[in-house]
Amino acid sequence: MLAFLIRRITQSAVVLLVMSVLVFVGVFYIGNPIDILIAPDATPAEYARAVSELGLDKPLWEQYFVFLKGALQGNFGNSFVYNEPALQIILTRLPATLELAFTAMFMAVFLGIPLGMVAGIQHDNWIGRNIMRFSILGFSLPTFWVGLMLIIIFSVQLGWLPSGGRGETVELMGIPVSFLTWDGLRHLILPATNLALFKTSLAIRLSRAGVQENLQMDYVKFARAKGLSNTRIIGLHVMKNIMIPVITVLGMELGNLIAFAVVTETIFSWPGMGKLVIDSIGVLDRPIIVAYLLITVTMFIFINLLVDVFYSILDPRVRLGDER
């Protein structure tokens, strides 16, 4: 286990370093943020002063090493727009993104796995076929279109739910959350549903495939021969075996939910990191963009590490490390 952790930490450090170089160079060549931030009628002296204050008068390699030195100390620089530490701004938006992502994953797990199991058991009748049709729609429909349709139907036409914003929040262990208030919960339902649709379809497919595969296994035939009921066989034995690949895949997909909630947050004006980075790209706010991407990569790495460890707990045959 120790060797595995050391190897993963080393790999993670290399990935973060390469990612920081690619992002920094990419943002540099997209455009000059001064052209967006400074007034068009600014004098050459004002222009030069703004360039100097933001540190953009230095060569690219020197700007990168200044950034890298600060990043190693937890300082990603000040936002060009907000004139506040980029990391602090992102961390204030992080709870909203995490709340949305975890809610969407909760919905995907507690809807997708049971539906997938039903589709696997009832694969030859109309129930199973309709569940699979729903999963095909979930894979096929674009997220932005589904979001717009949810707003039109439930906000504009029916007036049941708000179309944007986060609503009222309360603090839970010092972190603002909206799911503990009625107003916040109403604001959360539509964006979480929109974000969960694809993952629900994925959970349905994984669960259905796992059930159909395990029902053909010898241990199921032996359990039936012993006289165990189908409910006990499926609920205890089959479900335990299908949860290993399902949790592994969905655990890795949690990182995607956090990183790619950008479209959903933009459509529903959800005040998370995704909307922040979209706004920052529009004004080439380099510290925010680079800090966001590095934090996202770090979360991906951490989540994948947790999935590996959890997988080894679920399946004792799997060992983390160099043991053979």
**Which residues does 80 contact at the CB level (< 8 Å), separation at least 6?**
33, 37, 54, 283, 284, 285, 286, 287
pLDDT at 164: 85
Q: What confidence score (pLDDT) does residue 304 get?
A: 74
What pLDDT was estimated at residue 313? 65
SS3 84: coil
What percentage of the chain carries pLDDT values higher than 90? Answer: 8
CA–CA dist 104, 274 (Å, integer)? 15
pLDDT range class, residue 127, cuts 50, 70, 90: confident
Work out whether the CA dihedral 145, 193, 208, 320 comes out positive or negative. Answer: positive
Q: Which residues contact 124 (CB under 8 A, 6 or more apart)?
A: none
Tell me: pLDDT of 233 over 90.
no
Choose the weakest-confidence range: 110-124, 199-213, 220-234.
220-234
The arithmetic mean of pLDDT across residues 273-292, rounded, is: 84
Residue 149 pLDDT exceeds 90: yes
pLDDT tens track for 26-77? 777 776 677 666 766 667 777 677 777 777 777 777 878 888 888 878 788 7
> Coil, helix or strand for 168?
coil
- The arithmetic mean of pLDDT across residues 239-265, rounded, is 78
Mean pLDDT of the chain: 81
Write out the two tokens for 303: 């989540």
Count the neighbouring beta carbons within 10 Å of the beta carbon of residue 323.
Answer: 8
Q: What is the pLDDT of residue 324?
A: 46
Q: What is the DSSP letter of 178?
A: S
Predicted confidence at residue 142, as pLDDT, reads 87
pLDDT at 1: 62
Question: Regarding the domain with residue range 94-268, which homologous superfamily does it belong to in the CATH classification?
Answer: MetI-like (1.10.3720.10)
Whether the per-residue pLDDT at 323 is higher than 60: the answer is no
Check residue 187 and give its pLDDT: 92
pTM: 0.78
- pLDDT of residue 182 exceeding 80, the answer is yes
- Retrieve residue 124's tokens: 């030859």
Query: Which of 151-165, 185-199, 282-296, 307-321 is the least confident region?
Result: 307-321
The mean-pLDDT minimum among 12-21, 23-32, 77-86, 134-143 falls in 23-32
Q: Is 172 helix (H, G, I), strand (E, B) or coil?
A: strand
